[in-house]
Structure 1
């Protein structure tokens, strides 16, 4: 994996976001808290690995990435971040399943997936699988929305 100049900033941002999730987990049912806590700890572990690799190789990384990020690439990332924000805002209104299917289809199209069957079927299957996994096995209540 090649590290870039932005990777350390992204790691710091993700660590801050995970800290918010970790603090919010204190208000969650103890039975439903285990899996998210394991994921937060694993994420901190992998963020630390990337940050350590970045610090060890910082001279080489900074020398290779003198040009910075192109405007086109920045716009591409900004549009996708806006789509993630819209997805988060729509979860409460449309529900988890509907908003996840819409976001999944959008993501596959935006990432230029050419297989139409995968684009149509994968988000639906993944959304329902995750919904039942979280609601029936992990006892996490997801927003029901208009379909459930």
Structure 2
């Protein structure tokens, strides 16, 4: 795996965001807290793994990264971040299922997937399965909208 200097900064940023989530879990129902805690712990493990890899390879990473990040890569990231922000804003308006399916379709196309069946089926199946899991197993109410 090829690591860059920016990867360390992104890992630190994600760790800070996860700390905000951890501090907010105290206000969550005990039954609904289990899944988010598992995901947060798994995320911290992955972040720790990447940071350890970065530290082991830092000399070659710093030499390769001396020029900074390419403008095309920065633009690519910014466009996707705007799409995530739009998704977050649309969840309340359109509901979880519709906005998640639309965001999933956009993501697969933006990331270069050209399989039309996968572009439709994967986001639809993921949104429905996650909706059912959150509502029926974790008892977390997701925003309802046009269809659900």
Same fold at TM > 0.5? yes
Equivalent in the alignment of 1:77:
77
Q: TM-score, normalised by structure 2?
A: 0.95
Give 1:64 shift.
1.6
TM-superposed deviation, 1:61: 0.7
Q: 1:42 and 1:120 mapped to 2: Cα distance?
A: 28
Structure 1 unpaired stretches of 5+: none
SS at match of 2:5: coil
Spell out, residue by residue over 1:29-72, the C-alpha distance to the aligned partner (whole angstroms, 9 max, x if none): 10010111011111112211211221222111101222221111
Q: CA separation in 2, counterparts of 1:106 and 1:29?
A: 33
2:9 corresponds to: 9
Partner residue in 1 for 2:116: 116
d(CA) in 2 for partners of 1:92, 1:23: 24
Stretch of structure 1 that moved more, 11-20 or 67-76? 67-76
- Normalising by structure 1, we get a TM-score of 0.95
Structure 1 residue 146: deviation in Å? 2.0
1: CA distance between counterparts of 2:95 and 2:43?
26
Structure 1 runs (4+) greater than 6 angstroms displaced: none
Query: What's the counterpart of residue 138 of structure 1?
Result: 138
CA–CA distance in structure 2, aligned partners of residues 25 and 146 of structure 1: 29
- Would you say 1:35 and 2:38 are equivalent positions? no
Structure-2 separation of matches of 1:58 and 1:43: 22
- Number of residue pairs matched by the alignment: 148
Question: How many angstroms does 1:139 deviate by?
Answer: 1.3
